[in-house]
Amino acid sequence: MTIKFCNQCGHHVEYQIPESDNQLRAVCQKCFYVQYENPLIVNACIIEHKGRILLGKRTIEPRKNCWNVPAGFMENGESTQAGAVREVKEEVLADVKNITLFGVYNIIQRSQVHVYFRAELDSPNYGAGAETSEAQLFLPEDIPWDNMAFPVSVTALKRYVEEMKTGNFTIEEKDILIDYEMLRQFDR
């Protein structure tokens, strides 16, 4: 119920169930254009270099000053993989190779789908890019689990670290539950 105005003519909308639909939609009361609201896609990339994982420290909310794998919202006109590669370039100034799908995570409470890739650094060059104060390679045992930004990246990264031991990487599709009570404690 977040849309107030028609993006076609600017007139106000009302939430109604259109004919032959079964959900409330923002319907323009002048031109009757229906604005659909659908999940957003986030692309992310776990990057390995000689047994270490590249993480960036966030300079923006939410979860400012926490570590995360490069990740961000997909842009129009790009593929999921291209989006992940772009986020890597933007946030940790790195180029990657051997990019492979690693996981698809549904965050239903936020209406988001996070698509995780895994990749290797193409050259040992990286640094702090956009929205990042620091970029660092971590040995698995040194990953700052208590200071990671989001449960979804922790879920993906923990599996990655486990699968690194054998080199047998799998792909998983999973729902991630947000614990709002836990988030409130973080924010205190």
Residues that bind Zn ion (CB under 5 A): 6, 8-9, 11, 28, 30-31, 33
Which residue number, 31 or 183, has a Cβ lying nearer to Zn ion? 31
Question: What is the per-residue DSSP string for 72-118?
Answer: EEPPTT--HHHHHHHHHHHHH---EEEEEEEEEEEEGGGTEEEEEEE
Question: In the structure encoding, which two tokens stand for residue 94, read together?
Answer: 């790195």
- Min CB(11)–Zn ion separation in Å: 5
- Min CB(23)–Zn ion separation in Å: 19
Question: In the structure encoding, which two tokens stand for residue 159, read together?
Answer: 């599996």
Contact assessment for residue 164 and residue 93, using Cβ atoms and an 8 Å cutoff:
no
Which residue number, 33 or 138, has a Cβ lying nearer to Zn ion? 33
Which residue number, 28 or 119, has a Cβ lying nearer to Zn ion? 28
- Min CB(34)–Zn ion separation in Å: 10
d(CA 56, CA 13): 41
- Min CB(12)–Zn ion separation in Å: 9
Which residue number, 9 or 60, has a Cβ lying nearer to Zn ion? 9
